[in-house]
Chain A
């Protein structure tokens, strides 16, 4: 005799209460995003993170699940951001040998880029009269998201808002990078990659890797340096500004 299946809503209540739903939704959406990205010959507009976020958000709205409940399950994925940050030491270490003679120039360029990023973003927001909560979230957005969120918590900004800005920045940088770099007349791969890593962190870096390995290595370095320096300096600067 076949055991009788419980009614569908009971199955749903059971699944929605465990982390499984959030994990399957997150990984499934990302896998779909990756498939679309590959299918479009890695068109930067078909960014897998962007696609995944839209799909998951739509899924939550459809399932009527509040974000907090989703996050309780998805936090297992989220936790790995910290591990990923630690892992950034690996590309930085490997790039070190080829970088030594250029470190001064790279650091100065990174500092100039980091300051530009904040001044322009915060300046435009303030000029257009945006909400103060948004301005705070903008400070750390050019830094790679795991570090950005850690900084955000320390400067009383919303980590979520900062993550959204960081990911949007990454996607925009990956899409526009090529045109901006051509307009600037910068052709050397290591310089193009480094600029992309500083400005568009993880998403810019994976874009750089898919274009040229040297660009990718320098993008990792740019992302890592920018992240570490910002993590140390930004809270201090913001404390001084009050």
Chain B
């Protein structure tokens, strides 16, 4: 487990350094993600301890959003003033995004017979 955590943190640190000094417009963790992807492709498998740690973190991804989202208390007056516009924008945008993505995918890659389907 320690190995997995160490590897993930190392890729994160490497990503941060590259982002800070070479490609400042891409966030460090994204650089780390791409580097880790390349590493996994080169290794040909996911090390079990990394799978354990990474899987655990991703399973509770939601928890990690909480501290930043609580910032909603700071923006409450601004959000309240624009409540209708914000709700409409969020709602219409996500519905349209799901609809367009799914339809384009269906049109471009008709599902094969062996694919599993929703009832």
The residues of A with any CB-CB pair to B shorter than 8 Å are 22, 26-27, 29-30, 47-49, 52-53, 56-57, 60-61, 67, 70-71, 74-75, 77-78, 80-94, 96, 102, 104-106, 108-110, 112-114, 116-117, 120-122, 124-125, 128-131, 133-134, 138, 141-142, 144-147, 149-151, 153-154, 158-161, 163-169, 172-173, 176-177, 180-192, 194-196, 198-200, 202-203, 205-206, 212, 214, 220, 222, 224, 227-228, 231-232, 235-236
A151 adjacent to B27 (CB under 8 Å): yes
A77 adjacent to B64 (CB under 8 Å): yes
| Bound Cα distance A83, B30 (Å) | 10
Q: A102, A113, A114 — which one has the most chain B CB atoms within 10 A of its CB?
A: A113
A93 adjacent to B103 (CB under 8 Å): no
Contact of A154 among B25, B57, B66 (CB under 8 A): B25
In the complex where A108-B104, A188-B111 touch, is A84 in contact with B61 (Cβ < 8 A)? yes
In the complex where A87-B57, A177-B98 touch, is A163 in contact with B71 (Cβ < 8 A)? yes
B101 adjacent to A52 (CB under 8 Å): no
Q: Which residues of A contact B94 (CB under 8 A)?
A: 117, 142, 169, 172-173, 176, 199-200
Give the dominant DSSP class at B's interface: helix
The residues of B with any CB-CB pair to A shorter than 8 Å are 8-9, 11-12, 15-16, 24-30, 32-34, 36-37, 40-41, 46, 50-51, 53-55, 57-75, 78-79, 81-82, 84-86, 88-106, 108-109, 111, 115-118
Q: Which residues of B contact A231 (CB under 8 A)?
A: 26-27, 30
